[in-house]
Structures are given as structure tokens and as C-alpha cells.
Amino acid sequence: MPRHFIKRFTPDTEKVRSHKHLRIFGSLLHDPCLWHINRRSVAMAFANGLFWAMIPMPFQMVAAAASAILLRANLPISVALVWLTNPLTMPPIFYSTYRLGSLLLGTPPIANSAEFSLEYLEHSLSVIWAPLLLGSVVAGLLLGALGYVVMRILWRQNTLKRWRARCSLRRQRKSQRSRQSQPLKRHS
């Protein structure tokens, strides 16, 4: 992936460092590896951020930041991807992860999508926590792995495309120079 494209959508370094929930990491946020945009750090950030986005817990950003520091993944991308689960997307995502967990555990789901809301979660969490957590972890692992692989592939394809374009440009320049250096033939 082109660095400039990713940089356009990445939050400002100082803005992330000064975020009230991330201040607990203090000087750890000054590690330059957390801010680099390269194939490895971006792919790890996608894996990390997508995993934590699927986990139903408060302060997902803090968990994503902590694991980004441990993994030396790009911190702003890790934290930004957590916002895939926002108040609009949470109900369908967590209902889907609950259904996945129910399927994996072999238990019949007790909720249908019309009933699945925050109030429903509060009242029946003691019954649905196991399928919800299992489904969330499995979905997070799968989505994180998929994000990692896709970012590595896209980055490599873009690198190859740019490399081929540079080679083509070099060949064009070389052929132009060789044409210019050839003596002109005169017809008599």
C-alpha cells in the first residue's frame, strides 16, 4: 500500500499520544517503531486493530494500544481500526459473533436479531457470555489474520507495480538516449 495513502487517513501522532485513555502508556508512546508506516507494521496493525474491534469490552482502544506496543505495530492504525465497532455497528457485529459462538458450542441461540440490544445484553449476559466471547475471539482471530494477509498482499502488489513502472521508465530513457547518440545517416 502506498505510504501517502495510509498517512492521509492516519490520525496525527500528537493527537494519539495526548489521547486521555492512552496517556497511561507514557514514554512507551515515544518508540518510533509505533509510528512507522511499512509493510510489517501496517499489516500487524490491521491484525491487531481488527482483533480488538471484535472483542466486546470497554476501552478497546487501550487494549489495542497495549498490544500494538508489544507487537511493535503501527499504533494509530491499530487504535483507529477499533472504531469499526461503534454504536451503529455493535449490535449486528456482536449478534453475529454470538451466533458464531452458539454454533461452535453447539447450543441453540436464545436471542433473535430483533431482541438483541444493549438492554437485552445487560439482562441476559449470564446466559450468553460464553457464546458471545467465544464467537468474538474466533471472529477477531479470523478477521485479524485476514487483515494481516490482505495488507501484506496489497502492499506487495503495489510495490511490484511501482517497481515495474520504474523499470519501464528506465528502459524508455535508455532507448531515448541510444537513439539520440546514433549518428544521422545522410541520403545522397
Question: What per-residue confidence (pLDDT) applies to 7?
Answer: 65
- b/e 26-55 (16+ beta carbons within 10 angstroms → b): eeebeeeebbebeebbbbbbbbbbbbbbbb
How many distinct structural domains can be found in the chain?
1
Residue-wise pLDDT for 44-61, tens only, equals 999 999 999 999 998 899
Contacts of 52 (CB under 8 A, 6+ apart): 60, 63, 64, 67, 78, 81, 82, 140
Q: What is the extent of the structural domain holding 150?
A: 3-181
Question: Which one, of 106, 92, 19, lies nearest residue 59 by Cα?
Answer: 19
Confidence category of residue 101, pLDDT binned at 50, 70, 90:
very high
What is the reported pTM?
Answer: 0.74
With respect to residue 159, please indicate whether it lies within any of the assigned structural domains. Answer: yes
Distance CA 113, CA 104 (A): 18
Question: What per-residue confidence (pLDDT) applies to 70?
Answer: 92
With respect to residue 128, please indicate whether it lies within any of the assigned structural domains. Answer: yes
In the predicted model, what is the mean pLDDT of residues 13-39? 73
If one counts every other C-beta atom within 10 angstroms of the C-beta of residue 64, the result is 28
Rg of the Cα trace of the chain? 24
With respect to residue 101, please indicate whether it lies within any of the assigned structural domains. Answer: yes
With respect to residue 186, please indicate whether it lies within any of the assigned structural domains. Answer: no
- Is 14 a residue whose pLDDT tops 80? no
Amino acid identity of residue 135, one-letter, is: G
Question: What per-residue confidence (pLDDT) applies to 113?
Answer: 57
| Residue located via cell numbers 500500500 | 1
